[in-house]
Structure 1
């Protein structure tokens, strides 16, 4: 992104301009992906169908609202550092690290899977931001990345829990069946003694 490396507002923050420029570029990349992720969550919110419609419709709306808070936090950090927050939909579309959301999804679990895939990519980019700001010794921005990362990991857990139930139920049922069979076999062996 060229604009943020060419232009810094005057500020009394005691962080050298070269360091601020690097952090602002990183934050603008995060801003683009965060904006994109929020709109993808809203896409799922608007278009989800199926037996879990209401639950997922509400969950997706809650996640989108939380993403809006992160957008503000990132954009405000950029401007606090004297930078220019690049937060339009066009810039987000150009700069986001996320793949485009599939427009043919209808079923709830298909939306959950698509969002979980994107949240995993976003979570990794946040951890990259944590590492980079640590290397730059810019701990206030590092703390911001950590705060968002924790929340995104929690949201990814919420999404994956919907998927794991379907996957692990059969595995758990198999384990329970095997456990009952072992106990029944032990009782039969004991009765024969």
Structure 2
């Protein structure tokens, strides 16, 4: 395992946090790709606003993924952020590739944002229980962005 750059965390805690970071990294990568799938394929009233919003959402998700990946490295692990890892390890449901109506994309994305938000909240608790305030704070930062983007996306629902 690479060298860790943190003080005050034992090896068991570091390993647990690295695994937790990589699990949430997989979900975040999968969610980012779902957002881009919707961005490329949605159609209907309100198209341009949602299309542009989803580019910004994908950027924020990539920022969160970057934070998690870097933290895993800081803790002495490896960031596992490949497409293959995300496909294998993500806990969110696969995004449908044949959706077109904007409202169907909004519903599908909202469902996935809620699932990722829930997983991040559990990760906050796990990091707190492990005594890793740095990782706990990182997950809190990421979940705030996920919550905000879920709200932005959900505000486009008409049903």
Query: Fold conserved (TM > 0.5)?
Result: yes
Q: Which moved further from structure 2: 112-121 or 46-55?
A: 46-55
Encode CA deviations 1:95-152: one digit per residue, 9 max, x unaligned. 0011000112101111011000000000000000001001001000000011111111
Aligned length: 158
The equivalent of 2:19 in structure 1 is 25
1:79 and 2:73 correspond: yes
Shift of residue 12, structure 1, vs aligned partner: 4.7
Query: Aligned partners of 2:69, 2:124: CA distance in 1, in Å?
Result: 17
Instruction: Give 5+ residue unaligned stretches, structure 2.
Output: none
1:126 and 2:120 correspond: yes
Shift of residue 31, structure 1, vs aligned partner: 0.7
Report the aligned-residue RMSD.
1.0
Which has the greater radius of gyration?
1
Query: Aligned partners of 1:120, 1:99: CA distance in 2, in Å?
Result: 12
More helix by share: 1
Query: Aligned partners of 1:161, 1:47: CA distance in 2, in Å?
Result: 19
Shift of residue 11, structure 1, vs aligned partner: 2.8
Helix, strand or coil at the partner of 2:155 = helix
Query: Aligned partners of 2:56, 2:104: CA distance in 1, in Å?
Result: 18
1:94 and 2:80 correspond: no
The equivalent of 1:180 in structure 2 is none
Query: Aligned partners of 2:3, 2:32: CA distance in 1, in Å?
Result: 31
Tell me which stretches of 4 or more aligned residues in structure 1 moved more than 4 Å.
Answer: none
Query: Aligned partners of 1:84, 1:71: CA distance in 2, in Å?
Result: 13
Encode CA deviations 1:31-70: one digit per residue, 9 max, x unaligned. 1001110001000001111121111110111100111111
1:11 and 2:23 correspond: no
The equivalent of 2:149 in structure 1 is 155
Structure 1 length-normalised TM: 0.79
Query: Aligned partners of 1:78, 1:62: CA distance in 2, in Å?
Result: 25
